[in-house]
Structure 1
Amino acid sequence: MPYKDLNDLPEPVREHLPKHAQEIYRAAYNSAWDEYGQVEERASRVAWSAVKRKYEKDESSGQWKPKD
């Protein structure tokens, strides 16, 4: 199911990603949902891949930060 709003995102995404990263996740997920035949697992993988291009998880704090 595509996400209309950031509040609709899965709880782990909302709790751990900064707002901009959530926006990236939502846009990539929705695009992949349409492009790859409405397969939730695949759309989620695409979304996380898009987030990881711009953000990285700080291993010491566990927080997601923009890449340099």
Structure 2
Amino acid sequence: MPYAAIEDIPESVRAHLPLHAQEIYRAAFNSAWTGYARYGTAAREEIAHRVAWAAVKRKYRKDDGTWVER
């Protein structure tokens, strides 16, 4: 289900990403959730998480365990 606020995204995501990356994640997840409405809930959620991580990875990379802007 879509995330209304940054605080709603999973703790495992919030704990590792900087704020801007969290905003990217939330926006991409919500967009994918809407866009893939034709799929079942479990598949839809998995796809939305994958899309969200892909969006984050376009702008950020992991450097020594820390996410930094490209």
Class of the TM-score when normalised by the shorter of the 2 chains: over 0.9
Tell me how far 1:19 sits from its aligned partner.
0.2
Alignment of 1:38-49 (within 5 A): 39-49=44-54
Tell me how far 1:28 sits from its aligned partner.
0.2
Tell me how far 1:20 sits from its aligned partner.
0.2
Distance 1:41 1:4 in 2: 18
What is the TM-score when the length of structure 1 is the normalising length? Answer: 0.92
**Unmatched segments (≥5 aa) in structure 1:** none
Name the structure 2 match of 1:64: 67
**Unmatched segments (≥5 aa) in structure 2:** none
Name the structure 2 match of 1:19: 19
What is the RMSD computed on CA atoms of the aligned residues? 0.8
Q: Aligned with 1:65: secondary structure?
A: strand
Distance 1:57 1:12 in 2: 15
What is the TM-score when the length of structure 2 is the normalising length? Answer: 0.89
Distance 2:52 2:3 in 1: 12
